[in-house]
Amino acid sequence: MRRLAAVLLMLTLTACGAGGGGEGQEPRTTPPRPEPVTTSGSSGSTIALSCDGTDVRVPAAPSGLTPAGTFARLDSLARPHKVEGRIWSDNDERMYVGVVCGVRTAEQFATLVARSTLTAYGGKPALRWTTRTGVRNFMWLERPGTAVYIGATPGLADDIRPIAADISA
């Protein structure tokens, strides 16, 4: 069923081209580990996350949250990809925003996370999934080579859509 959806999505989104993606394996369920933030970055209203020179601008401090680090991988991905992301927190709640680089086709994107729901966001292919630890995740293929990722613990899950709306590429 997922293959059929991927093929239909690929045909619908001709700008993404055609290509093959392998069958994914079951994702790990732990959220990314925070790494210390070395710069404050609080003076600007946005920050840039990059995939091979393609910048995606994200809010510098979403929903009044405080910076809590960075991450460079997502355990939910079926195959390793370059990831660049930021983490914000409010007590025990966390918001993750980043880019996943290297996914070139809609078919590759559709198989990127096992046990995810294929949907659309702004006319682009998107995936939704929840990890066993309760982190809610949303990712869309902004353009070939660049996917935008947002994850949130349950207390911040309602902020995913407003954060997505504030992201510009």
Window from 17-26, 114-123, 139-148, 155-164 with minimum mean pLDDT:
17-26
pLDDT at 67: 93
pLDDT per residue as tens digits for the range 98-132: 999 999 999 999 999 999 999 999 999 999 999 99
Strands 124-130 and 117-121: antiparallel
Q: What is the pLDDT of residue 61?
A: 80
What is the distance in angstroms between the CA of the first residue and the CA of the last residue of the chain? 31
| pLDDT at residue 43, rounded to an integer | 40
27 versus 168: the higher-pLDDT residue is: 168
User: Would you state the structure tokens that stand for residue 132, as one six-digit string?
Assistant: 């066993």
Amino acid identity at 30: T
CATH code of residue 91: 3.40.1000
Q: Are 1 and 113 in contact (CB under 8 A)?
A: no
Indicate whether 37 pLDDT > 50: no
Domain count, the chain: 1
Long-range contacts of 14-19 (CB under 8 A, 24+ apart): 15/144, 16/104, 16/105, 16/106, 16/109, 16/125, 16/141, 16/144, 17/104, 17/105, 17/144, 18/105, 18/107, 19/104, 19/105, 19/107, 19/108
Task: Select, from the ranges 24-38, 50-64, 109-123, the one with the highest average predicted confidence (pLDDT).
Answer: 109-123
The pTM of the full predicted model, rounded to 2 decimals, is 0.75
Domain span at 110:
2-166
- How sure is the predictor about 31, in pLDDT bands with cuts at 50, 70 and 90? low
